[in-house]
Amino acid sequence: MKISTRPFQTRDGLSLVADVGGAENAPTVILAHGGGQTRHSWSGAMERLIQEGYHVINFDARGHGESDWAPDGNYSLDAQASDLAVLASATSRPVALVGASMGGASSLYAVGTGIVSTARALILVDIVLRPAAAGVEKITRFMTANPGGFATLEEAADAVAAYNPLRPRPSNPAGLMKNLRLREDGRLHWHWDPRMLTVNPSTEPPARTEALLEASRGVTVPTLIIRAGQSDVIDEDGLAEMRDLVPQTEVFDVPGAGHMVAGDKNDAFNAGVTSFLRQHFPSA
């Protein structure tokens, strides 16, 4: 399975780093990770989608991973949707957008506003238009904790385990280095731009709710919500509102998964994604 890494230039001059694989003339799936994550959170899903016959673009969002940080701190919905449009324009085929949390919000906005006009399917991973306050608070608390970084990799692993106790702690936390960088202060820091949480509105919900509510009225493509069985982000009120405004919404539950669904239960997550795409966005 050949996967190459390449840069894409955004309309405001940033470089986005993406892993690209699968037949170039196949329908394209664009994977948009959540806030504080990187494209590596989709590794298993990307391999499965390529096996299913799709062309896949799996990228680090602006301000994350190996992609550029915005010098002006522009992490707005418009900016992130514009980035998705750049990726979608790299193929002449229709696209499906798969987005988790922050990536789901920007994907819905891009589809609903027509910024990505070639989208034919939308998959939102553990996110709705109006997420539950408790889940939002938990995400924000994790992302704003440890501003001074970590002395060791084990300290960072402790922070992740405290946030997501459902996921078995790996015996070797070396994989976390994909999300960390050693800075000049000699400490390990999460490799994302902390200004994402200080811009107005913040990149994380619920600050963008009104814009998403308005955009949702333009979402007419087949839509799937993959809901974590242990989700504290999606409650019944949020799900009902989503179904009211986007009536074609389907729901696929992943028992035993927390907010980072793909990382918690990758096989079940992949099964939900591929089943929906086979029906609404077939690769053949």
Q: Where are the domains of the chain?
A: 3-133+205-280
CB 197 within 8 A of CB 144: yes
167 by DSSP, 3-state: which?
A: coil
* Whole-number Cα distances in Å, 266 to 41, 116, 167, 263: 10, 27, 11, 6
What's the sign of the alpha-carbon dihedral 230, 215, 89, 70? negative
CB 231 within 8 A of CB 167: no
In tens digits, the chain (284 residues) has pLDDT values of: 799 999 999 999 999 999 999 999 999 999 999 998 999 999 999 999 999 999 999 999 999 999 999 999 999 999 999 999 999 999 999 999 999 999 999 999 999 999 999 999 999 999 999 999 889 888 888 888 999 999 999 999 999 888 877 777 777 888 888 889 999 999 999 989 988 887 655 544 555 889 999 999 999 999 999 999 999 999 999 999 999 999 999 999 999 998 889 988 999 999 999 999 999 999 98
**Total residue length of the chain:** 284
The architecture CATH gives domain 3-133+205-280:
3-Layer(aba) Sandwich (3.40)
Three-state SS sequence of 118-150:
CEEEEEEECCCCCCCHHHHHHHHHHHHCCCCCE
Question: Is this structure's pTM higher than 0.75?
Answer: yes
Closest CA to 224 of 50, 84, 98: 98
CB 262 within 8 A of CB 250: no
At 211 the pLDDT is: 92
In the chain, alpha helices (H): 43-51, 77-88, 102-112, 133-144, 153-163, 209-216, 236-245, 261-264, 266-280
244 by DSSP, 3-state: which?
A: helix
Residue 62, both tokens: 């602006």
